[in-house]
Structure 1
Amino acid sequence: MKKKNIIITGTSRGIGYELVSLFTDAGHNVLALSRDAAPVSGLDISNCACFSCDITDKKDIARVRDFIKEKWNHVDVLINNSGYLVNKSFSKLKWEDFEDSYAVNVFGAAAMTQAVLPFMTKKGHVVNISSMGGVQGSAKFAGLAAYSSSKGAIITLTEVLAEEYKEKGPSFNCLALGAVQTEMLQEAFPGYEAPITAKQMGQYIMNFSLTGHELYNGKILQVSSTTP
Structure 2
Amino acid sequence: MWDTSKDYRILVANHAREQYLNIIQTASFRGNWNKKLAIETAKNMNSDFQSLSYSYLEGDDLVNSPDVAAIIEKGEKIVECLGGDGWNKSFISNAPKEDKEKTIENVAKVRFFIDSVLGLKDRLALGPINDPIIGIDIKVGEIMSVTKHPNADSLMICNVNLGKRAITVVTNDLNVKEGNSVGVSLLPPQSFMETTSEGMFLGMDGNILKEVEGNLGEMPKGIPMDSLNETRNLVEAFLK
TM-score range normalised by the length of the shorter chain: under 0.3
Larger Rg: 2
